Amino acid sequence: MKERYDPHHIEEQWQRTWEQQKLFQAVEDPKRAKYYLLEMFPYPSGKLHMGHIRNYSIGDVVARYKMMQGYSVLHPMGWDAFGMPAENAALEHKIHPAQWTYDNIAHMRSQLKRMGFSYDWDRELATCDVDYYKWEQLIFIRMYERGLVYRKKALVNWCPECQTVLANEQVEGGICWRCHGEVKKKELAGWFFKITAYVEELLEYCDRLPGWPERVITMQKNWIGKSTGAEVAFPLEDGTGAITVFTTRQDTLFGATFMVLAPEHPLVLELCTGKEQEAEVRAFVERVRRQDLIARTAEDMEKEGVFLGTYCINPLTNARMPLYTANFVLMEYGTGAIMAVPTHDQRDFEFAKKYEIPMIVVIRPPGETLDPALMTEAYTEDGVLVNSGPFDGMENRQAMEAIADYLEEKGIGTRAVNYRLRDWGISRQRYWGAPIPIIYCDRCGIRAVREEDLPIVLPLDVGPKENGASPLPDLRAFVETTCPVCGGAARRETDTMDTFVESSWYFDRYTCPDYDQGPLDRERLQYWMPVDQYIGGIEHAILHLLYSRFFTKVLRDLGMVPFDEPFINLLTQGMVIKDGAKMSKSKGNIVDPEDMIKRYGADTTRLFSLFAAPPEKDLEWQEEGVEGGYRFLHRVWRLVYELRGSLSEGPSPIATADLPPELGEMRHKAHKTIKKVTEDIDRFHFNTAIAAIMELVNHLYQTKDSIEATPRTKAVWQEVVEALVVLLSPFVPHIAEELWEALGHKDSVIKAPWPRYDREAITEEEVIVVVQVNGKLRDRLLIPVSAKEEKVKEMALASPKVRRHIEGKEVTKTIFVPKKLVNIVCA
């Protein structure tokens, strides 16, 4: 054993050993309980960043810990390898996206290996491999057959920068999630996954995911955005039809005084045609359409609209209601038309004030009356109905039900449910993605590729065009094909799939990455899935996590997977921060993991990222803190080095009972540490687990020189130092292996069973009992645990420090908490 700890000397050596011995190979062993630990796979952007290091260090602790506990562990790694950056790099560096991607994968793979993560590399997959995406194409076809995929022309989110369509989930406040550019609206045909077919189940199962963070669940529920109310038909005055609206406030129906249609609503132009307002309406619609998305949905956007020159009839009051079109009504939600109740909806109120539309109060606040002329804002709270015919005097909550019943009876409307969730648009007008397996035939229409004709291989002999556009539409060899039905000439779809499709099922494929009879090998899938613990960033709270849940349900209904939800437990780790801001190139506050490894080694890098903050919180990267971790590892090394002569050769049984006090104390401390570290890892408190190990090391330093080396001492030292090394191993595996070997072991430390604490060793014989007078700490007493309540109270009262404070006072009460405290209350 070397005198000094030298991480560079040992780390790569152990990494080679692990690889050669295939120590982390996952095996489907029916005799053992399985544990599937998964971290979100990375996009191969070039090199690892600190966020990756943190994510994967957290995962590795859990994986190694579970392995040592005897679980059969699956801990895989792979690459989310399709996507835009590869195309950008292609243009910038004149390199093919595939080349760029595979180069990056090679580099990042070596970085991951250099960190010593316990992956089963035999299961590695890259989503841009045909062997992966061909199965995705098969799933697409199955979904198409079931009507879960459809094509439609729609007003979609278009990112001019990325030159592609984005799904709703991929637009954050009008900004592209990837390039942060402004998103426009554009009319375009594309393919959609019918995620709305599963909306109820996705919502319902939110409450059956107790292992997920509350806030992720909340975000998903909000995104799904279920609201219940009614659809009501308002007949047009001229009898030519009706306008249907969705409302959650049917209790305010008697107060609806006008109607508003979204500018994109198909009836807008039809209704104003031939009216004197026509020109004005057309101009308004044009103007709103040109407004960009962000401005139009901004909160402070002035509400404006124009009268269509037409009226509806309120089916309950028979009142005439003018029809408007206005910028604040969205075509995407509900029916694209609303009934407006200015007295009880703030938006309608503002609009009505501006255009001087009549207002009728229909809900009276408790003990008050409202005068529309005097109102300065809408009254949106609960109350009692007025001006509502037969419903007058009813509580509005009840009126919601009563009026819904009434509408259904009269055939005017029905109860209805609305969701914000829209179908998932998956067409991307990009090259570097999985081709959508569809063929257009002039005679037979749109046809799915036949299963036996799969895969539709993405041609690699072309790349993005000079202007960034996809080369596929111009590539005759790709586009020109034959119709699977009539055999005549036909064209291929040239859009590729959203890369979120790949990441929606990769975790399933890890269970059987070599399976060639279909997407998934049921037997192996059944053994491993669902994922026991998933770890990744909060930024996927909706996107990837919602899509994956949806996909799981689809695959279940296609008979491919036998479960409802993919991830039992989810841990969302915080960001890595430097100088108070997220690490980013533009801020210039990047710490490159590569530098950290060069300077301190992988173990120190891992140690700091686990010690500096609990996983779910943001982590501030501090160089001094890293130094501290490095120092600690040196300290551990030196401890083992100095004790190397005082250790026994083999294990020998030890009983706490007959040990001299300082040895008993040492065992006591060691076993308490085992307990603490085990409990802390179980609840992901890695920072306090490491702190506990540090305390043990400090204790050993304090006692080591005062203990004589007798055979019995050696046995205790051996036990304690072994425990120390084993406890450290999930966090800093390389140094642990080296020390484990120095302790005389032939097998890897990962083969050592996770230690169990000895109940007897952690039993306290004496405890410190705190004595308070009127809740203030006055003394601490060392008291045998066996001491009875009366005895302890007696001792407390006898303490001079206590007596000083109760002198001359009357003791009214004494609180006794066994093994903890005595509180003497006096007047």
Partner RNA sequence: GCGAGAGUGGCGGAACUGGUAGACGCACUGGACUUAGGAUCCAGCCCGCCUAAAGCGGAUGGGGGUUCAAAUCCCCCCUCUCGCACCA
249-268 binders of RNA (CB under 7 A): 249, 262
Q: Which two tokens stand for residue 764?
A: 């306290």
384 Cβ neighbours under 8 A, 6+ residues apart = 363, 364, 366, 393, 394, 395, 396
Residue 605: partners with Cβ closer than 8 Å, 6 or more residues away: 53, 57, 115, 593, 596, 597, 626
Q: Pattern 269-308, binding to RNA, x per CB under 7 A?
A: ---------------------------xxxx-xxx-----
The C-alpha atoms of residue 40 and residue 34 are separated, in whole angstroms, by 19
Smaller CB distance to RNA: residue 298 or 655?
A: 298
The single-letter DSSP state of residue 565 is: -
Where in 379-418 is the site for RNA (CB under 7 A)? 418
DSSP 8-state secondary structure symbol assigned to residue 666: H
CA 305 to CA 284: how far, in whole Å?
8
> Cβ closer to RNA: 499 or 609?
609
Decide if residue 423 touches RNA (CB under 7 A): no
Closest C-alpha to 160, from 179, 137, 132, 141? 179
- Restricted to residues 759-778, the positions that interact with RNA (CB under 7 A) are 768, 770, 772, 774-778
Contact with RNA (CB under 7 A) among 195, 613, 743, 762:
613
**Which residue, 471 or 625, has its beta carbon nearer to RNA?**
625
Q: In the stretch 89-118, what mask flags binding to RNA with x, by CB under 7 A? A: ------------------------------
The reply to whether 148 sits near RNA by the rule CB under 7 A is: no
Helix (H, G, I), strand (E, B) or coil at 532: strand
* Nearest residue (CB) to RNA, 115 versus 690: 690
- For the bound state, the minimum distance from the C-beta of residue 252 to RNA, rounded and expressed in Å, comes to 9
Q: Tell me if 820 contacts RNA by CB under 7 A.
A: yes
Question: In this chain, which of 218, 240, 482, 763 binds RNA, going by CB under 7 A?
Answer: 218
Q: Specify the residue, 73 or 681, whose C-beta has the smaller distance to RNA.
A: 681
Instruction: Yes or no: say if 648 and 713 are a contact pair by the CB < 8 Å rule.
Output: no
Select 147 or 800, whichever has its Cβ closest to RNA: 800
Interface residue with RNA, options 204, 618, 642, 789 (CB under 7 A):
618
Considering the rule CB under 7 A, would residue 223 count as an interface residue with RNA? yes
Question: Is residue 810 involved in binding RNA (CB under 7 A)?
Answer: no
Q: Which is nearer to RNA, 40 or 338 (CB)?
A: 338
799-823 core/surface letters (b: 16 or more CB in 10 A; e: else): beebeebbeeeeeeeeebeeeebbb
DSSP assignments along 288-329, one per residue: HHHS-HHHHH-TTPPP-EEEEEEEEE-TTT--EEEEEEETTS
Q: Is position 347 an interface residue for RNA (rule: CB under 7 A)? A: yes
Under rule CB under 7 A, how many of the chain's residues touch RNA?
A: 89
Taking CB under 7 A as the criterion, the residue among 153, 208, 746, 813 binding RNA is 813
Q: Are 499 and 83 in contact (CB under 8 A)?
A: yes
Question: 378 vs 394, which CB is nearer to RNA?
Answer: 378
- Closest approach of Cβ 44 to RNA, in Å? 24
Quick check: 546 and 216 in contact, CB under 8 A?
Answer: no
> How many helices (H) does the chain have, and how many strands (E)?
27, 34
Interactions with RNA, residue window 327-346 (CB under 7 A): 327-334, 336, 338-339, 345
Contact 300, 360 (CB under 8 A): no
Contact pattern from residue 169 through residue 188 relative to RNA, giving x for each residue in contact according to CB under 7 A and a dash for the rest: ---xx---------------
- The CA distance from 42 to 109, in Å, is 11
155 lies in the site for RNA, by CB under 7 A: no
Reduced to 3 states, what is the DSSP secondary structure of residue 385?
strand
Q: Which of 687, 712, 745, 757 binds RNA (CB under 7 A)?
A: 687
Q: Long-range contact list for 315-321, CB < 8 A, 24+ apart?
A: 315/232, 315/233, 315/234, 315/235, 315/410, 315/412, 315/413, 316/253, 316/254, 316/389, 316/412, 317/254, 317/389, 319/257, 320/237, 321/234, 321/256, 321/257, 321/258, 321/259
Residues 699-738 that bind RNA (CB under 7 A): 701-702
What is the spatial distance between Cα 566 and Cα 546, in angstroms, rounded to a whole number? 11
- By CB under 7 A, what part of segment 232-251 binds RNA? 246-249
Is 49 or 540 the residue whose CB approaches RNA more closely? 540
SS3 of 191, please?
strand
Q: Which is nearer to RNA, 594 or 623 (CB)?
A: 623
Q: Which of 122, 115, 87 is nearest to 101 (CA)?
A: 87
- Closest separation between CB of residue 158 and RNA, Å? 17
Task: Fill in the per-residue mask, 527 to 546: x = in contact with RNA (CB under 7 A), - = not in contact.
Answer: -----------x--xx----
DSSP assignments along 735-797, one per residue: HHHHHHHHTT--S-GGGSPPP---HHHH--SEEEEEEEETTEEEEEEEEETT--HHHHHHHHH
- At residue 549, φ and ψ (nearest 5 deg) are -65, -45
CB of 746 or CB of 813, closer to RNA: 813
The correct pick among 685, 745, 752, 757 for binding RNA (CB under 7 A) is 685
d(CA 603, CA 690) in angstroms, rounded, equals 13
Nearer to RNA, 81 or 689 (CB): 689
Rounded CA gap, 820 and 827, in Å? 23
**Of 194 and 347, CB closest to RNA:** 347
* CA-based R_g, the chain, Å: 34
Question: Binding RNA by CB under 7 A: which of 780, 788, 791, 809?
Answer: 780
Site for RNA in 619-638 (CB under 7 A): 619-620, 622, 624-625, 627-629, 631-632, 634-635, 638
CB of 420 to RNA, least distance (A): 4
For residue 225, state whether it binds RNA (rule: CB under 7 A).
yes
**CA 313 to chain CA centroid, nearest Å:** 48
**Interaction pattern, residues 544-563, with RNA; x per rule: CB under 7 A:** --------------------
Q: Which is nearer to RNA, 481 or 688 (CB)?
A: 688
Measure the CA–CA gap between 446 and 483, rounded to whole angstroms. 9
Span interacting with RNA, options 137-145, 186-194, 401-409, 809-817, rule CB under 7 A: 809-817
Segment contacting RNA (CB under 7 A): 73-81, 457-465, 558-566, 815-823? Answer: 815-823
Using alpha carbons, list the distances in angstroms from residue 271 to 259, 347, 517: 13, 23, 57
Which residue, 396 or 496, is less far from RNA as judged by CB? 396
